[in-house]
Amino acid sequence: MGNTTEQANEHAALYEAAQRFIPGGVNTFGRSIGRPYAFTEATGAYVVDADGQRYLDYHAGFGAVLLGHNHPAVDEAVVRAISGVDQVGLGVTELEVEMARLVVEAIPSAEQAVTVMSGSEAVSHAIRLARAVTGRPLLVKFQGTFHGWYDAVARNLVSPPGRAYGRDPLSAGILDPALDATVIADFNDLDSVRTLFAAHQDRIAAVIVEPVAHNVGALVPAPGFLQGLRELTKEHGSLLIFDEVITGFRHALGGYQEICQVMPDLTVFGKAMGNGYPAAGVAGGRELMQRFLTAGGDVMLAGTFNGNRVTAAATVATIGYLRDHPDFYRRTHQLGQRMRDGLTAIVDELGIAATATGFGGVFSLYFAPPPVTGYRSLERNDNAANAAFHLRMTDAGFLMLPAPLRRNHISGAHTREDIDRTLDRARDVLRGMRDEKSVPML
């Protein structure tokens, strides 16, 4: 779609206004990467910016959009919900009960669930609950995994050289004791977890893990890794927390735990469960969940908008759609594999040192030779080439977050033809980068 001067001015004006009234012009740090984007429309697999440029969307709101933008089944359910009772702030509603029932029925390890508004909130509740249940202070997380803005986990994501596995906070303003109460292990390395348990006898409350490390692209768990975490935490009296904010509902209705058949003590979920509407929560066994203050326990659970009708309606509609369309996962997994196979063939053809990986409908292209198994493998990634590839694909109309070590998402609205068009453009982009000598070569 061509851009007019009027449209271009409209785009610039919108972004200028955003910078005047919003720090940096965006409301979360991940939105200011690449160009100064400003979007005005979204339907199915496509979004449109203020200049009228149409993009095939693989970013999908950091993975929150699962069925496709503005899916009618979800939007119509939300419209119906907001015409009923709104925010009362006392008691419970039928929609909240239905939402909790569907979540508990979907997640294999869940007996009860609570809902909040964001994954970060859910993580904070899960960690506080784990510390209360065990009476222990420490948390184990993995280098490269991301669990939100909560102080206890806001460290060691994409760490610069020399700071990986050491003290690497994501923000100023975090108290040292909060940082020091979280210790860092290596994804897919059980020995690194054993070392921490040995060093901190009877002090580790929980291990929190993304079962697929999607916040640095797509590090898939090695055979036995998640089961090993389950055995280690049981042996040492700690809880195992699966952060399924990304993997939950996206890879299977029951999340990645349904696929790997490893049952955590607590599950944090969010993003895709509401197809883009703010929705998240915590689920676990009844005995653990009864420790929340809402059930007469001693662990605070509060939030004015927890279980609100928009979240509940969107979640009920999304889970209901997935339950009634079991072919959804077969189809998105097939498209994801087609993309990964296609990218592998392209980089092999061009002689580029790159690795296409992922799971289900998620794919990533690392600019490092295989195998890519853990965070130490990613230290070989050419971050500049990684970011440039995403930016050039976005400029060509295929929206990918223009940053290194980022994942891409295939929604229910994508088609086989979309995948093939994307691969054709990726071949052109990668050939150009090869000719410019801006990618690592085999």
Residue-wise pLDDT tens digits, 214-251: 999 999 999 999 999 999 999 999 999 999 999 999 99
Task: Please answer whether residues 121 and 301 qualify as being in contact, where contact means their C-beta atoms are separated by less than 8 angstroms.
Answer: no
Q: Per-residue pLDDT for 81 more than 90?
A: yes
CA 60/CA 53 separation, integer angstroms: 16
Q: Tens digits of per-residue pLDDT, 267-323? A: 999 999 999 999 999 999 999 999 999 999 999 999 999 999 999 999 999 999 999
CA 259/CA 252 separation, integer angstroms: 7
- Domain at 5-63+326-435: CATH architecture: Alpha-Beta Complex (3.90)
CA 311/CA 99 separation, integer angstroms: 9
| 72-324 to CATH, choices 3.40.640.10, 3.60.70.12, 3.90.110.10, 3.40.50.720 | 3.40.640.10
Asked if the domains 5-63+326-435 and 72-324 are classified in one and the same CATH topology, the answer is no
Which helix (H) or strand (E) segment holds residue 387: the answer is helix 383-395
Q: What are φ and ψ of residue 184, in 5° steps?
A: -110, 130
Q: Region 135-152: what's the mean pLDDT?
A: 96
CA 327/CA 416 separation, integer angstroms: 15
Q: Per-residue pLDDT for 4 more than 50?
A: no
CA 127/CA 26 separation, integer angstroms: 29
Per-residue pLDDT, 22: 85
DSSP string, 223-278: TTHHHHHHHHHHHHT-EEEEEETTTBTTTBTT-HHHHH----SEEEEEGGGGTTSS
Question: Given CA atoms 244, 216, 125, 141 in this order, what sign does their dihedral have?
Answer: positive
Per-residue pLDDT, 9: 62
Q: Is 63 left (phi over 0), alpha (psi -120 to 50) or beta?
A: left
- Proportion of the chain above pLDDT 90, given as a percent: 87
Per-residue pLDDT, 8: 53
**Which one-letter amino acid corresponds to residue 312?**
A
Average per-residue pLDDT for the chain: 94
CA 360/CA 97 separation, integer angstroms: 30
CA 314/CA 99 separation, integer angstroms: 9
Which helix (H) or strand (E) segment holds residue 343: the answer is helix 327-350
Q: Region 56-60: what's the mean pLDDT?
A: 97
329 SS3 class: helix
Between vectors from CA 89 to CA 88 and to CA 91, what angle results, nearest 5°? 95
Q: Region 331-346: what's the mean pLDDT?
A: 98
**Which one-letter amino acid corresponds to residue 365?**
L
Task: Please answer whether residues 175 and 218 qualify as being in contact, where contact means their C-beta atoms are separated by less than 8 angstroms.
Answer: no
Task: Specify the pTM.
Answer: 0.95
- Residues across the chain: 442
Task: Please answer whether residues 410 and 339 qualify as being in contact, where contact means their C-beta atoms are separated by less than 8 angstroms.
Answer: yes
Q: How confident is the model at residue 365 (pLDDT cuts 50, 70, 90)?
A: very high
CA 37/CA 26 separation, integer angstroms: 10
- From first CA to last CA, the distance across the chain in angstroms is 38
Q: Tens digits of per-residue pLDDT, 18-45? A: 888 888 888 887 777 777 788 899 999 9
Q: Tens digits of per-residue pLDDT, 155-169? A: 999 998 889 999 999
100 SS3 class: helix
Per-residue pLDDT, 7: 47
Query: What pairing do the DSSP bridges indicate for beta strands 54-57 and 398-399?
Result: parallel
CA 92/CA 351 separation, integer angstroms: 59
Per-residue pLDDT, 433: 98
62 SS3 class: helix
CA 108/CA 267 separation, integer angstroms: 10
Q: Per-residue pLDDT for 5 more than 50?
A: no
Lookup: tokens for 99 = 């939402």
Segment 365-372 long-range contacts (CB within 8 Å, at least 24 positions apart): 365/389, 366/217, 366/405, 367/439, 367/440, 368/440, 369/440, 369/442, 372/219
Per-residue pLDDT, 89: 77
Distances in Å between the alpha carbon of 91 and those of 97, 227, 294?
11, 39, 11
- The domain limits of the chain are 5-63+326-435, 72-324
**Which one-letter amino acid corresponds to residue 297?**
G
* Lowest-confidence region among 50-59, 79-88, 257-266: 79-88
